Amino acid sequence: MAVLFSAIDWRAMSRQECDAGLNNGVAVAGSAEIVAGWERRSTKLRQQHPQHLDLRYGPRERNRIDFLKARDGAPTLLFIHGGYWQSRAKEVFTVVAEGPLAHGINVALIGYTLAPDATLDEIVGEIHAGVDFLAGQLPALGATAAGIVVSGWSAGGHLTSMALSNPHVRAGMAISGIYDLEPIRHSYLNEKLRLDEAMSQRNSPMMQQGGVAKPLSLVAGGAELPLLRKQTADFAGHRARHGLPVTYEEIAGADHFSVMNEMMAPQGRITTLIRQLFERTAR
């Protein structure tokens, strides 16, 4: 029998249980090979779109944005990569652009400084700086300047929710994200993040009273770790209770990695949700 989300409480878990409940790499067999496959596909796609790579938005090494143009006058999606704020890079994830590009949507991918070289406060600040920079560059890049839809996976889902407050962002698509950082603070992941209680709370959307009244679509895989599925379900409930626009669904049978197939595919469910966000917020 399925366990109800209400029965899942990380506070009642041992440190070992909490660590395991957050460790996607161990939970999904062959996850390293899956990510390596993404990187190979991403390299090919970057070779097909070499014109606007590594646009610098800030002073640090990873403060760069890749822009893949679909067509003149197209709207733009900004994708934020995952890796628990401490691993991976934008270059691994270029492949996620395949779905949106097929529908005439430009895709930008943002890099950011990883922990422990940056605090989470600093990482969130870099994302906002990148959004500001990209918004200013859109006319020169031949894109519409009518606002950006932000998307992200895993830690990028968290950063998507934090980016909603930026005035240049019109909507968000958060995939398998983290919205309450307290379990992270009490797990192995905090060895590099070095969150204290105050930093955790101010960067946890679930800890805020209300939120930003912009459309946010939340997606998780139905076969993901229960602690992480609960994060998405709880955040959807939080936004609904505060009267904020939100949609929530699980992709049946998808784990933390295979859920991204729904963005890479032109007819994938996440690609469809992204298209709908652009349609709902058209200016």
| pLDDT tens sequence across 27-65 | 999 999 999 999 999 999 999 999 999 999 999 999 999
Look at residue 233 in the predicted model and tell me its pLDDT: 95
Burial 44-66 (b: 16+ CB within 10 A, else e): ebbeebeebbebebbeeebbbbb
> The pTM is what?
0.96
Q: What is the DSSP letter of 44?
A: H
**pLDDT > 50? residue 217:** yes
pLDDT at 90: 98
Tokens 């983290």 locate to 178
Q: What share of the chain is helix, strand, coil (3-state, %, to 5)?
A: 45, 15, 40
Give the per-residue pLDDT at 27: 95
Residue 139 CB: number of other CB atoms within 10 A? Answer: 10
